[in-house]
Each structure stands twice: as C-alpha cells, then as structure tokens.
Amino acid sequence: MDRWWPDGTETGSRLWQGIFAIAATGCLLGVAQNALVRYGSPKDGLTWRYTPPKLDSLEDVVSSAAAANPAAAAPGGTTPLPPDMNDPLQLGAAAVNGAANIPDVGRPIQVQISKVKALFDAKAGTIIDAREPAEYADGHIPGAVNMPYDQVVTDPERLEKFDAGGKPIIVYCGGGTCELSMNLGFALVNAGQKKVLVYTGGWPEWSTSGYPVAKGATPDGA
Amino acid sequence: MGMIPSFLLHPTARRAAQITAGLIFLAAALPKIADLAGFAGSIHNFHLESVVPMAATNILAMMIPWVELIAGLALVSGVRPRAGAVVYTLLMAVFTLGVIQALARGLSFECGCFGKAGAATIGVKKVAENLVMMAIGVVGSVERR
C-alpha cells in the first residue's frame, strides 16, 4: 500500500459484499427507525403503505354543511333560500348549475374539472396559475393570473393584497397531487383569502379536455 | 478508461472525490431522516406510479436516506469507500433519471433532494447539478491499480 488511506482497494466479490452490506444496513436501519417512532411515544412516523394527502372535495364540504343545516338542504323540505341578487358569488353559482355557494371553511377545497369549467363559463371564479412563468406562457386557462408559488413564498404581501373580487379563487398547477397549487392554496388561506379551491387535475387535464386555452405572458394571452 | 482524464485517476483525486461525495450524501441524508413524511411527499411528487407501486412510496422514504447515510459514512471514513462510491453513483443515476422523466412529463415541484430546507424546483439546472455529482461518484469508484 503506497498511501496510508484506503481507496478503491476493494475488487471483485469484496466490492459486491460492500455494496450489499451498505444497501442492506441502510434499508434495515431505515425500517427500524420508522418502526421506533411509529410504535414508540409519541406516535409518529410513516404508515407502511402510502396514502396520498387529501383535501376535502367540494361535494363533501357542501354535503356536510347541508347535514349541519338540514332545514336549508332537505330534499323537498322547507323553503330553499333564494339567491342573494346583490352577491355576485351567489349569482355566479346560481348561473353555474343552481348549485350551492362555495362555503368558506378556512381551508382549501379540492374541485373537479366540471366545477372549474362551470365557474369558468360563468366567469364566477378567479383563476390562479401556480406554475412557473415559462410554463404559464406556454399555455394556461384563459383569464388565469400567474402567481408562481416559488415567488410568492418570498413575497407574502402579494397574497394578502390579491383581490379576488369577491369570487372564489381557483388554484391549479401541473397536475398530479400538485404540491404547488396545494401549497399556494394553503398560503392564500393563511393570508386571509376566502373560498380557495384547488383544481388538482390542473393544466394537463384542462389542456387535453378540449377547453379554451391561452398562450403568452398575460391572462388573456396577448 | 480512456474517457476519464488521467489526473482524475490519481489516488489523491479519487480519495478527494470519495470524501466530497460522502459529504454530499451526509448533507442529503440527515434532513430527510429528520423529516420522513416530507421526504415521502417529495418522492410522491415524482409520480413514478407506473414504475414503483404508490403504496411502496413510504418504504422507499424510510430506506433511501439511511442508505445515503451509510454510503456517505463509508465514503468519508474510507471503510469500503469504493462500495460506497458505487452505491452513491447508482443512487445518483436513479435520482437523475427521476428528475429527467418528471421534467419530460412537464411536472413542476420542489425536488426535496436535500430535504425541504434547500428546496429547489426541478429543472435543467438540477439535472446538470446531478450529473456533476454523479461524475464525482464515478471518479471515486474507479478501481485502484
């Protein structure tokens, strides 16, 4: 050995042995650590099977609100409340499909594409695109405001000052579980915004559904 | 090994590469071990459902940081450093492929590569960074002769 330090002296089966030992020890320790925190006290750690984080869906929120207030929602029950003609939100919602208002529950609510399209058609929602400006310029939902999550985390004032015009806010991003739009949804609620909806299908679903799209750096795609 | 410049085959270069790679892995492993749930979320962001069953995401989140930690310790301490370097290079290759496939599908998220604190959104820069870190692993895993 011409150096005092060992380097690259392992060859053949010794090398494979080492690789296997590192992988096996790592895996075992990882599982052991998780088991300790999972069954120890306080109970923490990961479940053995992954379950994706879930926002309440709009349907669930509306039906639980109805359950809390059965008089207003009972089928064929007592007088349904007429929409308030001075409230643009209620008008918008009524124009959508006679559906209930978007409740203000102090947390983001997940919505499906049909609801987004209905609000879009009725111009009853303020749409926010949480992706990067370049992706936004490549294509976005017409009228959507670009608010990249990465930018607003460093500038929370922008969230507080954002004027949704009394309409519900719909946040979307690149689809999947869509961490950007979830994070932005929670950030908006924390900044005091009401009625924040997260459209988790996002751009991939919208752009392949044959619905209108806009290109360019401005909401209407100039 | 004509692809690697000869000065990188020098034992000192190799040892330096091993220590650098080891420190990178230690820096990557510790925040993830401290926030397993966050890392599980990060893995999920890569949307590899078609390759890895979604239910296995949490198991991976438990194991990867510890394999990183052990490989990092092997690299830094010089106990089985070549094995550590091979594990490092292979893992780095898998991570890089993950980022590339995510980019190709137009996904956009924070990679969680070094835990949540140093969060960087994935992009071409991340791929380049990973390739450089992978090259360090290759230099560190060359057989001594």
Averaged pLDDT, B45-62 = 80
**Contact check, Cβ <8 Å, B11/A8:** yes
Domain count, chain A: 2
d(CA A115, CA A61): 14
pLDDT value at residue A100? 43
pLDDT value at residue B73? 96
DSSP annotation of A140 reads: B
Judged against a pLDDT cut of 60, whether residue B8 lies above it is answered with yes
What are the two backbone dihedrals, phi and then psi, of residue A112, each rounded to the nearest 5 degrees? Answer: -95, 170
Strand ranges inside chain A, DSSP E: 109-111, 126-129, 145-146, 169-172, 196-199
State the CATH number of the domain containing residue A186: 3.40.250.10
The distance between the two most distant Cα atoms of chain A, rounded to a whole number of Å, is 93
pLDDT tens per residue across span A87-134: 555 545 444 443 346 777 777 888 888 888 888 888 888 999 988 888
Do the domain assignments include residue A127? yes
Judged against a pLDDT cut of 70, whether residue B90 lies above it is answered with yes
**Closest among A216, A222, A212 to A141, alpha carbons compared:** A212
**Percent above pLDDT 90 for chain B:** 43
pLDDT value at residue B117? 61
**Contact check, Cβ <8 Å, A179/B71:** no
pLDDT value at residue A200? 84
Do the domain assignments include residue A124? yes
Do the domain assignments include residue A220? no
pLDDT tens per residue across span A24-45: 999 999 999 988 888 876 667 7
Same domain membership, residue A30 and residue A69: no
| Residue A37 with chain B: CB contacts under 8 Å | 36
Q: How confident is the model at residue B27 (pLDDT cuts 50, 70, 90)?
A: very high
**Contact check, Cβ <8 Å, B44/A48:** no
More confident of the two residues B37 and A70: B37
d(CA A48, CA A102): 36
Interface test with A, best of B80, B108, B143, B144 (most A CBs within 10 A): B108
Restricting to A residues 156-175, those with a Cβ less than 8 Å away from any Cβ of B are 173-175
Judged against a pLDDT cut of 50, whether residue B43 lies above it is answered with yes
Averaged pLDDT, B114-124 = 73
Helix (H) / strand (E) containing B58 = helix B57-77
Say if B144 is an interface residue toward chain A (CB within 8 Å). yes
Residue A189 structure tokens: 């609620």
Same domain membership, residue A26 and residue A82: no
What are the two backbone dihedrals, phi and then psi, of residue B110, each rounded to the nearest 5 degrees? Answer: -80, 135
A21 three-state secondary structure:
helix
Q: Which of A93-97, A178-182, A199-203, B50-54 has the highest mean pLDDT?
A: A199-203
pLDDT value at residue B118? 59
pLDDT value at residue B25? 95
d(CA A12, CA A3): 21
Angle between helices A113-121 and A88-97 (to 10 degrees): 120
Q: Among all chains, which residue has been given the structure tokens 């349907």?
A: A59
pLDDT value at residue A7? 60
Query: What distances in angstroms separate CA A9 from CA A6, A189, A215, B69, one per listed residue?
Result: 7, 57, 58, 21
**Contact check, Cβ <8 Å, B82/A8:** yes
Same domain membership, residue A196 and residue A88: yes
Same domain membership, residue A93 and residue A193: yes
Same domain membership, residue A45 and residue A63: no
Same domain membership, residue A99 and residue A121: yes
Which of B33, B55, B86 faces A50 most closely, judged by CB atoms?
A: B55
Do the domain assignments include residue A100? yes
Same domain membership, residue A170 and residue A87: yes
Do the domain assignments include residue A128? yes
Distance from CA of B62 to the nearest CA of A (A): 5
Task: Sort B1 into a burial class: Cβ within 10 Å, 0-12 / 13-18 / 19+.
Answer: exposed
Q: How many CB pairs lie under 8 A apart between chains A and B?
A: 135
Same domain membership, residue A37 and residue A64: no
Do the domain assignments include residue A3? no
**Closest among A9, A26, A16 to B86, alpha carbons compared:** A16
Same domain membership, residue A202 and residue A149: yes
Do the domain assignments include residue A219? no
**Contact check, Cβ <8 Å, B36/A26:** no
Task: Sort B42 into a burial class: Cβ within 10 Å, 0-12 / 13-18 / 19+.
Answer: buried
DSSP annotation of A7 reads: -
Mean pLDDT in chain A? 76
ipTM of the complex: 0.88
Judged against a pLDDT cut of 90, whether residue B52 lies above it is answered with no
| Structural domain that includes position A43 | 11-49
Q: What is the dihedral of CA B8, B10, B13, B16, to 10 degrees?
A: 140
Which of A7, A26, A52 faces B69 most closely, judged by CB atoms?
A: A26
What are the two backbone dihedrals, phi and then psi, of residue B27, each rounded to the nearest 5 degrees? Answer: -65, -30
pLDDT value at residue B116? 66
pLDDT tens per residue across span A209-218: 989 999 888 8
pLDDT tens per residue across span A40-62: 766 677 777 766 556 777 777 77
pLDDT value at residue B96? 92
More confident of the two residues B5 and B1: B5
Same domain membership, residue A25 and residue A80: no
Which of B64, B65, B78 faces A7 most closely, judged by CB atoms?
A: B78
Say if A24 is an interface residue toward chain B (CB within 8 Å). no
Residue B75 structure tokens: 């690299």
d(CA B18, CA B141): 8
Which of A5, A26, A174 faces B108 most closely, judged by CB atoms?
A: A174
Which of A33, A50, A204 faces B66 most closely, judged by CB atoms?
A: A33
**Contact check, Cβ <8 Å, B107/A176:** yes
**Closest among B34, B70, B41 to B57, alpha carbons compared:** B41
Mean pLDDT in chain B? 86
Residue A68 structure tokens: 């809390």
Cis peptide before A156 (omega within 30 of 0): no
B44-53, B58-67, B136-145: range with lowest mean pLDDT: B44-53
Same domain membership, residue A183 and residue A103: yes
Do the domain assignments include residue A216? no
Say if B138 is an interface residue toward chain A (CB within 8 Å). no
Distance from CA of A57 to the nearest CA of B (A): 20
For residue A140, the number of C-alpha atoms closer than 13 Å in the C-beta half-sphere is: 28
Same domain membership, residue A119 and residue A44: no
